[in-house]
Structure 1
């Protein structure tokens, strides 16, 4: 197998990483405005370690589970929002889709399943936003990780709101 980051690349575009024995940093993308901050924080954590990002796109249960290969249209839409921000960091990435469970499970059920997905990819760190879909906010993920004895969950605060300023007369 070719080493993941053996030689620096001349073009700074992000690339699809190979899943092997690397321990990527996971970023939970929930199709909200906080995704940009989550992806940037995960990229800053992955860059000094020289590991790829595990970009977990959370999809509603009614989105079809079958698509056109590993990069379905809903996944490409979520990735298209964050790639311009993490592209300058030049880390590789592993795209993954997590479908929210249908029905009403326990509060920690979805968080446990998401952490199990990250564990299958050997991700020791998970970055999530404070707010998110039910059961996938950072605090629920932290609680599920402490019950499982697994990954470290890092919380990202939403971007500060700045009012629009109109030109003064």
Structure 2
């Protein structure tokens, strides 16, 4: 059975939960600027439903000597925003398929991964790698009968404030 981390009622220390008994909200993290907005939107849904997050880090096709360090970096980028919300999470890595099996192949495989975790909702960016943007995931979900896909708009750019000395 998969184990995930969930906030403990006794403090900020995460505690393991039995992932097989819950239906997490999946967040598709593609190592882009949109990841934080996607993770925050998924965390708000997960908090409202009182379930953990399924944080899916999308990585390039696997190589012979594959390392999980890049996936950890993707997750580490969103944790400062998601961690304070005290929602548990299940980390997962999705490697892009090495060959193109059609326009929606990657989207179908990613949705199959979310389904294996029993995730009824997936949150993705409107902009993403080809085949894994929210619109491709919505189309693939319609073809396979679920899950529900939420499209998150990219964050708006705000100019940095200049500090007066």
Would you say same fold, with TM above 0.5?
yes
Please report the RMSD computed on the Cα atoms of aligned residues, expressed in angstroms.
2.6
- 1:133 corresponds to which residue? 129
Contact 2:55 2:91 survives alignment (8 Å): yes
1:154 aligns with 2:153: no
Q: How many residue pairs align between the two structures?
A: 163
* Within-5 A mapping of 1:94-133: 94-133=90-129
Q: Structure 1 27/13 Cα, relative in aligned 2: closer, same or farther at 3 Å?
A: farther
Q: SS of the counterpart of 2:142?
A: helix
**Aligned twin of 2:12:** 12
Does structure 1 retain, via aligned residues, the 8 Å contact 2:24–2:117?
yes
Rounded to whole Å, the distance in 1 between the matches of 2:134 and 2:65 is 25
Residue ranges of structure 2 left out of the alignment (5+ in a row): none
**8 Å contact 1:14–1:83 — kept in the other structure?**
no
Matched, 1:144 2:134: no
Decide whether the 8 Å contact of 1:14 with 1:91 is kept in 2. Answer: no
Shift in Å at residue 163 of structure 1? 2.5
* TM norm structure 2: 0.88
What secondary structure does 2:94 align onto? strand
CA distance in 2, matches of 1:31, 1:6: 24
